[in-house]
């Protein structure tokens, strides 16, 4: 009986774009519109630098001038600023043993693509949460983009310290008159189930039979991840952080990883003939950046580490407050 190997079924130039498309299709971050993926972001990261500059024009402020036949208009300067994004270079490898179940199926190539896409959905979500931890720890973001309802004695929290309609609305109010500023809300599983008890989570029918229903809360797409902050209170109980996102509040771009001779190394397959194992490696170079919050951190290696991403000293807001459509709500449950 012939044995199917990874090398037999993976054609990198065909399989790679299919897997990347699956990642975007499966990810609530992309489907909710929180992450904006455009070709211009792909072009930004084509070079070999660890960061990219993204200049921008500042908003126009002030009152219009009175027209006069004797006094000319006084031209105002259009201010400029610079946002900086960091490039993520990440990858992983799997053996044929890891992928044995997928290899035995009727369509092993599609099965492996689905497994790898699921992996990257989870991994990129982890990257995003690390970034958010650092962003909301930075000075301006912590003071102007956080609604803190939590107390350190969480076991004795009152209704005002817990997730509720009023607490959520106070967090939405961070954007003032920008009523549609937030499109998504990411919460810990404990918070999600508390809202389910309150019977306030709504479900939208998926676009196809194979997809799960879309969960929403107050019209915002719900993302549930137990990787969101759940920290012990100084006295008792826990403090939870729930994140709010605006449409396109994160930008995303991706480029093809190239090897030392300029060849595509995004997906490679190999076989150890002595051990009888096949291997699949997948590398991804991408930009995932909160618009208007500048990277000011130091990268010790070739790509930012998890501690570097979540450090509050790595981030600085450079857009005006209402143009950075991110918010955080802290509760005790």
Using one digit for the tens of pLDDT, what is the confidence trace for 169-190? Answer: 999 999 999 988 999 999 999 9
- As to burial, measured by CB atoms within 10 angstroms (0-12 exposed, 13-18 middle, 19+ buried), residue 1 is exposed
Alpha carbons 132 and 128: distance in angstroms, whole number: 6
SS3 of the chain: helix, strand, coil, percent, to 5: 30, 30, 40
Helix spans in 96-145 (H): 100-103, 108-137, 139-144
- Mean pLDDT (the chain) is 84
Q: In which band, very low, low, confident or very high, does the pLDDT at 2 lie, cut at 50, 70 and 90?
A: very low
Is the pLDDT at 47 greater than 90, yes or no?
no
Alpha carbons 243 and 331: distance in angstroms, whole number: 11
Predicted confidence at residue 1, as pLDDT, reads 34
Alpha carbons 333 and 149: distance in angstroms, whole number: 10
> Are 98 and 281 in contact, with CB atoms under 8 Å apart?
no
Whole-Å CA distances, 190 to 161, 197, 224, 332 = 15, 11, 9, 10
Q: What is the pTM of this model?
A: 0.80
Angle between helices 12-26 and 108-137 (to 10 degrees): 50
For 205, list phi and psi in degrees, rounded to 5: -65, 140
Is the pLDDT at 323 greater than 90, yes or no?
yes
What is the CA angle 201-204-207, rounded to 5?
150
Of 77-86, 103-112, 185-194, 298-307, the range with the lowest mean pLDDT is 103-112
Predicted confidence at residue 81, as pLDDT, reads 80
Alpha carbons 36 and 24: distance in angstroms, whole number: 11
Write out the two tokens for 266: 């995004």
Alpha carbons 151 and 157: distance in angstroms, whole number: 7
Alpha carbons 256 and 86: distance in angstroms, whole number: 16
Q: In which band, very low, low, confident or very high, does the pLDDT at 17 lie, cut at 50, 70 and 90?
A: low
Q: In which band, very low, low, confident or very high, does the pLDDT at 24 lie, cut at 50, 70 and 90?
A: low
Q: In which band, very low, low, confident or very high, does the pLDDT at 168 lie, cut at 50, 70 and 90?
A: very high
Across 148-181, b (16+ Cβ under 10 Å) vs e yields ebbbeebeebeeebbbbeebbeebbebbeeeeeb
Local structure of 134: helix, strand or coil = helix
Alpha carbons 84 and 290: distance in angstroms, whole number: 10
Question: Rounded to 10 degrees, what is the CA torsion of 110, 114, 117, 118?
Answer: -170
Question: Rounded to 10 degrees, what is the CA torsion of 138, 139, 142, 144?
Answer: -130
- For residues 280-300, average pLDDT: 92
Predicted confidence at residue 4, as pLDDT, reads 46
Q: In which band, very low, low, confident or very high, does the pLDDT at 135 lie, cut at 50, 70 and 90?
A: very high
Predicted confidence at residue 116, as pLDDT, reads 80
Pairing of strands 230-232, 238-245: antiparallel
- Which residues have C-beta within 8 Å of that of residue 102, sequence separation ≥ 6? 108, 111, 112, 114, 115
Write out the two tokens for 98: 């890891």
Predicted confidence at residue 59, as pLDDT, reads 78
Q: What are the sequence ranges of the domains in the chain?
A: 6-57+80-331
Is the pLDDT at 34 greater than 90, yes or no?
no
**Sequence-ordered strand ranges (E) for the chain:** 35-37, 51-57, 80-95, 146-148, 184-187, 202-204, 214-217, 220-224, 230-232, 238-245, 250-255, 267-272, 277-290, 293-295, 315-317, 326-331
- For residues 315-321, average pLDDT: 94
Who wins on pLDDT, 103 or 138?
138
Closest CA to 215 of 31, 36, 37, 41: 31
């Amino acid at each position: 009986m012939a044995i199917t190997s990874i090398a037999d079924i993976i054609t990198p130039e065909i399989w790679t774009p299919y897997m990347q498309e699956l990642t975007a299709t499966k990810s609530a971050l992309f489907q909710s519109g929180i992450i904006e993926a455009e070709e211009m972001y792909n072009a930004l990261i084509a070079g070999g630098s660890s960061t990219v500059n993204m200049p921008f024009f500042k908003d126009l402020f002030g009152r219009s001038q009175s027209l006069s036949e004797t006094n000319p208009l006084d031209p105002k300067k259009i201010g400029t600023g610079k946002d900086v994004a960091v490039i993520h270079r990440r990858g992983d490898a799997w053996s044929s043993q890891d992928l044995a179940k997928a290899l035995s199926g009727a369509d092993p190539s599609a099965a492996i693509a689905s497994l790898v896409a699921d992996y990257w959905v989870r991994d990129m979500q982890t990257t995003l949460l690390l970034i958010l931890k650092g962003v909301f720890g930075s000075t301006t973001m912590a003071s102007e983009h956080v609604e803190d309802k939590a107390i350190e004695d969480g076991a004795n929290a009152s209704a005002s310290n817990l997730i509720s309609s009023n607490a959520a609305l106070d967090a939405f109010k961070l954007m003032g008159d920008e009523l549609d500023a937030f499109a998504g809300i990411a919460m810990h599983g404990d918070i999600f189930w508390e809202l389910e008890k309150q019977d306030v989570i709504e479900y939208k029918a998926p676009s196809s039979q194979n997809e799960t229903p879309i969960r929403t809360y107050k019209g915002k797409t719900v993302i549930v991840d137990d990787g969101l902050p759940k920290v012990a209170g100084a006295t008792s109980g826990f403090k939870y952080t729930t994140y709010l996102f605006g449409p396109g509040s994160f930008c995303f771009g991706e480029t093809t990883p190239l090897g030392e001779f300029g060849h595509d190394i995004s997906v490679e397959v190999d076989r150890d003939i002595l051990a009888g194992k096949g291997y699949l490696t997948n590398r991804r170079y991408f930009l995932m950046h909160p618009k208007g919050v500048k990277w000011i951190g130091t990268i010790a290696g070739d790509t930012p580490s998890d501690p570097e991403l979540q450090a509050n000293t790595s981030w600085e807001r450079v857009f005006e407050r209402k143009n950075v459509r991110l918010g955080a709500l802290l509760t005790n449950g």
